Amino acid sequence: MNPGRLPNFFCIGAPRAGTTWLYESLSQHPETFVPTLKELNYFIRSEYRSSAHRGEDWYRSLFVATEKPQVKLWGDISPRYYYQEDTPFLIRDLVPNARLLLMLRHPV
Where b means 16+ CB within 10 Å and e means fewer, 60-99 reads ebbbbbeeeeeeeebbbbbbebbebeebbebbeeebeebe
- Whole-number pLDDT of residue 54: 78
Beta bridge partners of 102: 12
pTM: 0.85
pLDDT above 90: residue 98: yes
Q: So what's the pLDDT on residue 49?
A: 62
Q: What digits encode the pLDDT tens for the residues 24-53?
A: 999 999 999 999 988 998 998 776 666 556
Q: Label residue 1 by pLDDT band (50, 70, 90).
A: very low
Amino acid at 54: R
% of the chain with per-residue pLDDT over 90: 49
What whole-number percentage of the chain has pLDDT above 70? 89
**How high is the mean pLDDT of the chain?**
87
Contacts with 52 (C-beta within 8 Å, 6 or more apart), sequence order: none
Instruction: Choose between 45 and 23: higher pLDDT.
Output: 23
